[in-house]
Amino acid sequence: MELHQLRYFVAVADEGSFTRAAEACLVAQPSLSQQIIKLEKELGTPLFERLGRRIQLTDAGRMLYERAVVVLETVERFPDELQQADAAGRGRVTVGAILTVAPYLLPSWLRRFRRRCPEAEVVVHEDLTARIVEELVRGKLDVGVLALPIDQPALHLEPLMDDELLLAMPAGHALANKSRVTMKDMIREPFILIDPVHCLGEQVLAFCLERDCRPRVVCRSSQILTVQEMIALGHGVSLLPACAAVADRSNKRCYRALAGKRPARSLVLAWHKDRYQSPVVQSFIEVAKAETAGSAAPSARRLRDRSARGSAT
């Protein structure tokens, strides 16, 4: 059953004539008649009673007519309704974010996005990098928040920010008062590692090995919050992203930038190159970029400034 068949059927019922219906639909009368016959064969029942020059609906025809009118009206209204929804900022955005980013960036993005598109729905999926990439490629997610490297040619990667890795330690730790903290200082300390199941854990280990530094790992955790709590209890130090440090309001921990080449991870927005982006998805991407550029990176710099001032006093 096709839409043009329903249009021809309704026209015949309204006009009471195949000839007048063909004229109204701007189609040749034999073609219209053929489509009605095809529709009747598909449904397995006559839709019209042909009574000489006069035709009338059968019982099945009356049932179909009621439903066909609703279907056609819905289809005809849809473009206008879609434009109105776009103008009002309605729609749905599905966002995938890695677990070491989602709690620190998404809340401010969603707050700003809600002000911009109050009628939009946002669904957030927190997962590991590989799973988010898979869902983006399959079209299950509109946009992802990930850390490089990402090796998937089907995805467009939009740079967001470099999220510096800072040395996290208990408040009052001896290293907190040093004017310059190096990798050699860190290697002497018990180290709490983000589990390498996360790309962040892999990046921390890679950074250490590149500098011929093998941290003395005493514990691993898959949650940044758990690592922070263990640091506060004096179990060791760690390298944590600046976005987590900025969000940390506790006075039980402090953070310092490492001297020399500072470790960082590059955060990106990702989406399928060939997937259509609705206006509401585009709005979310714009908000994410504006919020990151205008808030997250400066906050990390202010955090380092505060640490430097604390060391000087």
Per-domain boundaries in the chain: 3-87, 88-160+266-300, 162-264+303-312
The secondary structure of the chain in percent helix, strand, coil, rounded to multiples of 5, reads 50, 25, 25
Say which residues have a Cβ less than 8 Å from residue 269's Cβ, sequence separation at least 6. Answer: 143, 144, 145, 146, 157, 158, 160, 285, 288, 289
Question: How far apart are the C-alpha atoms of 264 and 240, rounded to whole Å?
Answer: 10
pTM reported for the whole predicted model: 0.69
Q: Identify the residue whose tokens are 């000489």.
A: 52
Question: How far apart are the C-alpha atoms of 76 and 294, rounded to whole Å?
Answer: 43
* Pairing, β 143-147 against β 155-170: unpaired
β-pair partners for 122: 93
Mean pLDDT of 32-56: 90
CATH number, domain 88-160+266-300, options 3.40.50.620, 3.40.50.300, 2.130.10.10, 3.40.190.10: 3.40.190.10
β-pair partners for 193: 220
pLDDT of residue 85: 54
CATH number, domain 3-87: 1.10.10.10
Q: Do domains 3-87 and 162-264+303-312 have the same CATH topology?
A: no
pLDDT of residue 82: 64
Q: What digits encode the pLDDT tens for the residues 193-215?
A: 988 888 888 888 888 888 888 88
Neighbours of 225 (CB within 10 A): 11
Q: Which of 83-97, 121-135, 148-162 has the lowest mean pLDDT?
A: 83-97
pLDDT band at 88 (very low <50, low <70, confident <90, very high): very low
Residue 229 confidence (pLDDT) above 70:
yes
CATH number, domain 162-264+303-312: 3.40.190.10
